[in-house]
Amino acid sequence: MKPMRVMAVARKEFLHILRDPRSLAMAIAIPMLLLVLFGYALTLDVDNVPLVIWDQSETAASREFLSHFQGSRYFSIRGYLHDYREVEEAVDSGRALVAVIIPKNFAGRIASRGGASVQLIVDGSDSNTATMAAGYADTAAQTFSQNIAVREIRRMGGRAPAAPLEMRPRVWYNADMVSKNYIIPGLIAVIMMVIAALLTSLTVAREWERGTMEQLISTPVKGSELILGKLIPYFIIGMFDVLLAVLVGEFLFQVPLRGNVALLFGMAAIFLAGALSMGMVISIVTKSQLLASQLAMVLTFLPSFLLSGFMYEILNMPTVIQVLTYVIPARYFVSLLKGIYLKGVGLEVLALEAGLLALFGVALTVLAHVKFKKKQV
């Protein structure tokens, strides 16, 4: 392998990128656009759940109970209704996700210590949000009930008993439980996998379609030199994209980066080399830009988004799918990014993921070389 030949191919590819604004936009603008859009739009935090209230009691007791919803950041009161027809209309139209209905005898039941009931209607069409909203409402009701019990004991001259069990939760690594703190690092992995594979999936296929591949094959340039020369420009652009993504996460989304920055970029380089080589293999095999781009999207975006642990916990998947995730390289990069970003750990903890990611990079690079040699024969 001669460096001069590699650099000549790399220079040719750089010139093509600079002369083709679409390639440059795909390489730089699209990753940043996706990161910003997904970063703002994709959130698992359930706040400001739309709530409507039908207070049939209209007493001090019912107002005290409702104050636990009014003062909570988890609920946003959208109106006070007066019958079931209005409640049904609010939930059916999507104006409200939750409805609280307080009966007329609410205050009397509280005063007589007979136990009052409050109806909670939840729109279950979004099961995840509905479950969390019902949990928030249950917590508000339990807090109100405990306050009533403590006041009653004190009124009778007694002393409020200590709770037999007190749990004091302490959240590590993401103390505020903000979803963007773990979405953004995982999002970097998914976007880089998709964009890297898409970029190089067009390179060799473009040469075949334009009839220039035969000319390249007839030159003294070896297959390994051609592949490496074509990978270098996109590798540089990809690492620049990683730098921009880290800066966007740090300054736009305020995602803490607690780990080693050099380790982050080192793992990104290994992952990027594998992803670019994967796109190269697709391009070599298909010889068609349209087919290569479609195949690259199917083989990168869907597995990286669904099976990497970025959005859905792998342990909750069926056993067969869990086994399948081991061949998804984004799984290891997502784990590495979350460990570096949120936990601040190094290779002493992430050595297995780093090793498997390196194996992926080497395997795809070798495969690209082998497949191209076969095409030359």
The answer on pLDDT for 160 being more than 60 is no
Q: Which of 113-127, 205-219, 234-248 has maximum average pLDDT?
A: 234-248
Q: Which band of pLDDT confidence, cut at 50, 70 and 90, is reported for residue 373?
A: low
In the chain, count of helices (H) and strands (E)? 16, 4
Query: Is pLDDT at 121 greater than 90 in this prediction?
Result: yes
Residue 271: closest CA among 199, 356, 202, 146: 356
Which tens digits make up the pLDDT trace of 10-53?
Answer: 888 888 778 877 777 777 888 888 888 888 877 777 788 999 99
Alpha-carbon distance values, 279 to 213, 276, 373 (Å):
17, 5, 16
Q: What is the DSSP string of 32-97?
A: HHHHHHHHHH------SEEEEEEESS-SHHHHHHHHHHHT-TTEEEEEE--SHHHHHHHHHTTS-S
Tokens linked to 73: 């950041």
Which two structure tokens, joined as six digits, stand for 147? 């306050």
Domain boundaries, the chain: 3-43+178-376, 49-155
Residue type, 162: A
Statement: residue 219 has pLDDT above 80: no
Give pLDDT, residue 335: 93
Distance CA 56, CA 327 (A): 58
Q: Which residue has the higher pLDDT, 146 or 345?
A: 345
Q: At 221, which amino acid appears?
A: V
pLDDT in tens, 46-87: 788 999 999 999 999 999 999 999 878 889 999 999 999 999
Give the best-scoring range by mean pLDDT among 72-86, 112-126, 176-190.
72-86
CATH of 49-155, one of 1.10.150.20, 3.10.400.10, 3.40.1710.10, 3.50.50.60: 3.40.1710.10
How deeply is 79 buried, as exposed, middle or buried, from its count of CB atoms within 10 A (0-12, 13-18, 19+)? middle
CB atoms within 10 A of CB 105: 14
Please, what is the Cα angle at 296 between 292 and 299, to 5 degrees? 135
Mapping DSSP to helix (H, G, I), strand (E, B) and coil, where does residue 272 land?
helix
Amino acid at position 272, single letter: L
pLDDT at site 98: 94
Identify any residues that bridge with 79 across adjacent strands, giving them in sequence order: 52
Judge residue 283's burial from the number of C-beta atoms within 10 Å of its C-beta, 0-12 exposed, 13-18 middle, 19 or more buried. buried
**Is 90 exceeded by the pLDDT of residue 127?**
no
Torsion over CA of 24, 28, 33 and 38, rounded to 10 degrees?
130
pLDDT of the residue at 377: 43
At residue 174, what is the residue type?
N
* Number of CB atoms found within 10 A of residue 7's CB: 15
**267: confidence class by pLDDT, cuts 50, 70, 90:** very high
Average per-residue pLDDT for the chain: 85
Percentage of the chain modeled with pLDDT above 70: 93
Beta strands in the chain (DSSP E): 49-55, 75-80, 98-102, 119-122
CA nearest to 183, candidates 46, 346, 23, 305: 305
Angle at 29 between CA 24 and CA 32, to 5 degrees: 145
Q: Indicate whether 162 pLDDT > 70.
A: no
Which tokens hold the place of 30? 């699209």
